[in-house]
Chain A
């Protein structure tokens, strides 16, 4: 187990998050430490993905602060500084590969723009990054020619291109078969171990949470706040909160509503 006492690389202070007119999170604070795999979880609509958008500066908070490496992200008056943006890599939920470029060109895009290296070195790097995610030989495929799991991998290779210090992953295993999802989990662990990348993962796949997470926070729609924080394995066993326990044990909120009348076999006698 890695030490949890690492220095905080992301600090969120008193953040109020809103989606359009609706406020979905109120005054939340937490921090992510260097080298850990930090998972944000919660039921659908609790604002997980929105919170991630605030953490990378795609949304500007009305109140509260987000700092990455001590540097404040966008405020209403200022864009996210470029050197902060280069510290982070993002895997979007839909992978967000540019459809008119091949997989290789997608990965080469940040490399060619920011590394200052000549073309053949960039090509070598692209092939290496693709190998890292198990996509060697697919550099010439268009995103429309590869499967969903491969798109996720290609998106991960692009997010990893500049060796970011922090990697944000939005539902990395959603919509994938269990085998591919498990492979993505292993890939995440492997990258975390070998490169020491800090990871922030938004997900609600329990299996992958138990497999990769060092620490989780759980968001709740009703209280608009964090209702649990800590090791998921402990939370499952020890949490006193009803909602948290239900989530980790996959229990429905109430007994399922009987929308469909049950078929009662007629008495046979």
Chain B
């Protein structure tokens, strides 16, 4: 039912008196559905007649709380124009309502969410304390993960094997299709882009070296880690965060479980096992992508492409890539779980934790990749 299409619920009888006052009789319902229209009509009456005093006759009106607040608003506008508004001949029930809503005594209320802005020193101090607190939490969480690993090393029975296997499936096996697809296309693109240059020198065969070397030591670990951070890092944060706000973690704690050992350790182990495997798959898919392009566009034979790939890949490169991916995996899992445990509040905090888990993991992946590059430069 559209408000405009129905007959108005009320009628206004306007009667200007000689002395610049206006008497308005409201006949009918001044309730929720009519409130907006009533306010608009009254505003235009005030504008047209510009009365000094407004007399409202409510003898034939039935009001609800919406109607009363429209009267509040009209009175406020009259007062703003140095005028006044007088209510007359209200029925007993309307009088009762006006009394209950403190019509005569009420001042205008303040706006919602009026939060005071603290001075900048206070805000700076609060922000610093928050950073300190977060750092403290981060360090103690990393510490508790390390302690839990020592505990598992001492007493392997403490590890939740079933959970670890489930997490391996979720993080590893389920991610294989997307990792494979992205790597295959990446290999294809890399081969294509490099062939444009290498073809000018008749060096097509080096496309194979480029794809395999770049993937094995740099792009494979990074691409895989970024996909896993987006898929699983966020999931860890969201799952643990939701458990946190529904008091499941408190429940675990009171039952005598160590939440870190129960939730974080299986995820860290699962991640550290499957991400290197995913990285190996990623490199293989990229090489096959390069192979497809080499055979179809560069007139290489599959055998010569593979021979060149094997010739250029050293065992060191492969192990270098794999050890990087183990470090990335631990970063992703620890950051994801940490963000989950940091959740306080409600549903939006869970969303923030998932976002922050992905952003922090990707930042740390790139940071640690740079560290690896520097180490390698000065080591060899």
- Which residues of A come within 8 Å of B, CB atoms? 83, 99-100, 102, 104-105, 108, 115-121, 123-129, 139-140, 142-144, 162-163, 195
B111 is an interface residue with CB less than 8 A from chain A:
yes
In the assembled complex, the CB of B234 is this many whole angstroms from the nearest CB of chain A, namely 19
In the assembled complex, the CB of A36 is this many whole angstroms from the nearest CB of chain B, namely 20
With A and B bound together, what is the CA distance between A165 and B36 in angstroms?
Answer: 19
With A and B bound together, what is the CA distance between A126 and B345 in angstroms?
Answer: 24
In the assembled complex, the CB of B59 is this many whole angstroms from the nearest CB of chain A, namely 22
* Extra A-B contacts (19), CB below 8 Å, given A121-B73, A125-B66, A143-B346: A99-B347, A102-B113, A104-B113, A115-B35, A116-B3, A117-B36, A117-B39, A117-B66, A118-B39, A120-B76, A121-B35, A123-B110, A123-B112, A124-B108, A128-B101, A140-B114, A140-B115, A163-B65, A195-B64
List 19 A-B residue pairs with CB atoms under 8 Å apart, sorted by A's residue number. Answer: A100-B346, A104-B112, A105-B112, A105-B113, A115-B35, A115-B66, A116-B36, A117-B70, A118-B39, A120-B108, A120-B111, A123-B109, A123-B110, A124-B108, A125-B65, A126-B112, A139-B113, A140-B114, A195-B64
Q: Mark B286-314, 1 if CB is under 8 A from A, else 0.
A: 00000000000000000000000000000
With A and B bound together, what is the CA distance between A63 and B294 in angstroms?
Answer: 63
A-B contacts counted at CB < 8 A amount to 78
B1 is an interface residue with CB less than 8 A from chain A:
yes
B262 is an interface residue with CB less than 8 A from chain A:
no
In the assembled complex, the CB of B115 is this many whole angstroms from the nearest CB of chain A, namely 7
Max count, chain B CB within 10 A of own CB: residue among A127, A128, A140: A128
Contact A121 B39 (CB under 8 A): yes
Contact B345 A144 (CB under 8 A): yes
Q: Point out the residues of chain A lying under 8 angstroms from B72, CB to CB.
A: 121, 124
With A and B bound together, what is the CA distance between A139 and B114 in angstroms?
Answer: 10
Q: Point out the residues of chain B lying under 8 angstroms from A144, CB to CB.
A: 345-346
Chain B contacts with A in 2-48, Cβ cutoff 8 A: 3, 31-32, 35-36, 39
Q: Taking A115-B32, A128-B65, A144-B345 as contacts, is the C-beta distance between A121 and B70 under 8 angstroms?
A: yes
- Which residues of B come within 8 Å of A, CB atoms? 1, 3, 31-32, 35-36, 39, 64-66, 69-70, 72-73, 76, 101, 108-115, 345-348
Q: Point out the residues of chain A lying under 8 angstroms from B35, CB to CB.
A: 115-117, 121
With A and B bound together, what is the CA distance between A98 and B347 in angstroms?
Answer: 9
Contact A100 B32 (CB under 8 A): no
Q: Point out the residues of chain A lying under 8 angstroms from B115, CB to CB.
A: 140
Residue of B nearest to A132 (CB): B65
Pick the contact of B109: A108, A124, A129 (CB < 8 A): A124
Smallest CB-CB A-B distances: 5 pairs: A99-B346, A116-B36, A100-B348, A104-B112, A124-B69
With A and B bound together, what is the CA distance between A121 and B65 in angstroms?
Answer: 11
With A and B bound together, what is the CA distance between A108 and B69 in angstroms?
Answer: 14
Residue of A nearest to B72 (CB): A124
With A and B bound together, what is the CA distance between A126 and B109 in angstroms?
Answer: 10
Contact B112 A121 (CB under 8 A): no
With A and B bound together, what is the CA distance between A244 and B340 in angstroms?
Answer: 47
Q: Taking A120-B73, A163-B31 as contacts, is the C-beta distance between A127 and B66 under 8 angstroms?
A: no
Residue of B nearest to A119 (CB): B111
Q: Point out the residues of chain B lying under 8 angstroms from A140, CB to CB.
A: 112-115
Q: Point out the residues of chain A lying under 8 angstroms from B32, CB to CB.
A: 115, 162-163
Residue of B nearest to A107 (CB): B112
Q: Point out the residues of chain B lying under 8 angstroms from A118, CB to CB.
A: 39, 73
With A and B bound together, what is the CA distance between A119 and B108 in angstroms?
Answer: 13
Contact A128 B112 (CB under 8 A): no
In the assembled complex, the CB of A155 is this many whole angstroms from the nearest CB of chain B, namely 14
Q: Point out the residues of chain B lying under 8 angstroms from A127, CB to CB.
A: 109
Residue of A nearest to B1 (CB): A83
Residue of B nearest to A99 (CB): B346
Q: Point out the residues of chain A lying under 8 angstroms from B36, CB to CB.
A: 115-117
In the assembled complex, the CB of A42 is this many whole angstroms from the nearest CB of chain B, namely 27
In the assembled complex, the CB of A126 is this many whole angstroms from the nearest CB of chain B, namely 7
